[in-house]
């Protein structure tokens, strides 16, 4: 049972790390995305 639970918990930890990294990357790039959306709306 422990060998079955361990990979799942390790996968959850890896997923949480990837989510936090993705959120940090998203926070850094939000301003660029907003500028791009504004430019696209003006172009339309």
**Pick from 35, 9, 42: nearest CA to 1:** 9
Q: What is the pLDDT along the chain (44 residues), one digit of tens a residue?
A: 556 667 888 888 999 999 999 888 877 777 777 878 888 888 87
Question: In this structure, how many other beta carbons lie within 10 angstroms of the beta carbon of residue 14?
Answer: 10
How many domains does the chain divide into?
1
Range of the domain at 14: 1-44
DSSP labels for 3-36? HHHHHHHHHHHHHHHHHHHHHHHHHHHHHHHHHH
Model confidence pTM above 0.75 = no
């Amino acid at each position: 049972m422990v060998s079955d639970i361990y990979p799942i918990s390790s996968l959850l930890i890896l997923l949480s790390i990837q989510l936090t990294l993705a959120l940090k990357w998203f926070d850094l790039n939000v301003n660029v995305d907003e500028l791009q959306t504004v430019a696209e709306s003006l172009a339309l």
